[in-house]
Amino acid sequence: MEVRWEEAGARVLLPAPLRLSDTLMCGQAFRWSVAGEGEFCGVVGQQAVRLRQETDGFFISPCTPETFEGLWRGYFDLDFDYAACESALCADEVMGGMAAACRGLHLLNQPVWECLLSFLVSANNNIGRIRGSMEALAKMSGTALEGGVYALPTPAQLGAFSEAQLRACGLGYRAPYVQETARAVADGFALGALAELPYEEAKRKLMTLKGVGEKVADCVLLFSCGHREAFPVDVWVERAMRRVYPALQGDRKAIGAFARQTYGSYAGLAQQYLFHYLRNLEKEGQHA
């Protein structure tokens, strides 16, 4: 990887492609939007940025050496060996074609609180409504950033909002879950420690929070805590797994265990390849 600094930002050159459209728009994060052909704008923490896809990498603006090293390098998972992962998954007769087709899709390493809030809001929801709710919550925080966008509320800010205010942001029945979990985090629930715990222990701890079930916990552990063996299973993923593994037995918990046993530390990326590949096929009216 090479970073070339320009007045407007940073040009990140990569030995293997990172496809921004697949990475940002595949349901990992909900504060990115398309800004033009190959261009995306988004907010992460206190940073509002614009990205542009390039053949040998991507351009990010604004960006300083400090924000690149402190946020973006880790956020875009730029130090992970995706070539080795792809090689391992391509050797699997089920996952091989999907891994090859999804080359350039990276896992995001998001701020834990923002990821947890996103997936609490995502429960039994669609992407359009999730994005709308996240933007409404950000505006309610009042923390304005450059470009007319807003940072998400902190746990303390969010916990101070009334249930009625949260429902007005489109949270519906999720409002009390979000409120109670925000207050638990503000009171000292150690989100930052989850990355250091073994996967099963981190998952059990996370599921003590209101509204956090198996799928939400796995999403948070995969997309913000570095637990690459996490394999989130919802209705769609369950259906997809049974489609590609017709003999698969058991409930969603058993499906996750099967994926971890089959793909090990690559299970989370396998889940993203499966989800993205089959969803694109359905959009195109094709069949795997």
Is pLDDT of 285 > 90?
A: no
Query: What is the residue-averaged pLDDT of the chain?
Result: 93
Which CATH number is 112-222 given? 1.10.340.30
For residue 225, the 8-state DSSP code is S
Contact status, residue 158 vs residue 117, Cβ threshold 8 Å: yes
Which position among 139, 203, 210, 215 bears the catalytic label? 215
Tokens of 268: 């989370």
Answer yes or no: 215 catalytic. yes
CATH 3.40.50.300 for domain 2-79, yes or no, is: no
Is pLDDT of 286 > 50?
A: no
pTM (two decimals): 0.94
- Give me the pLDDT at residue 166, please: 96
Spatial separation of the C-alpha atoms in residues 71 and 65, rounded to whole Å: 10
- Give me the pLDDT at residue 124, please: 81
Spatial separation of the C-alpha atoms in residues 113 and 150, rounded to whole Å: 16
- Give me the pLDDT at residue 287, please: 42
- Give me the pLDDT at residue 282, please: 56
CATH 3.40.50.1400 for domain 91-105+226-288, yes or no, is: no
Residue 270: its H or E element: helix 267-283
Contact status, residue 129 vs residue 170, Cβ threshold 8 Å: yes
- Give me the pLDDT at residue 283, please: 58
SS3 180: helix
Residue 53: its H or E element: strand 47-54
Is pLDDT of 270 > 90?
A: yes
Contacts of residue 106, Cβ cutoff 8 Å, sequence gap at least 6: 18, 23, 76, 77, 78, 80, 82
Is pLDDT of 5 > 50?
A: yes
For residues 17 and 29, the model is more confident at: 29
Every domain of the chain and the residues it spans? 2-79, 91-105+226-288, 112-222
Model pLDDT for residues 204-257, shown as the tens digit of each residue: 999 999 999 999 999 999 999 999 999 999 988 999 999 999 999 999 999 999
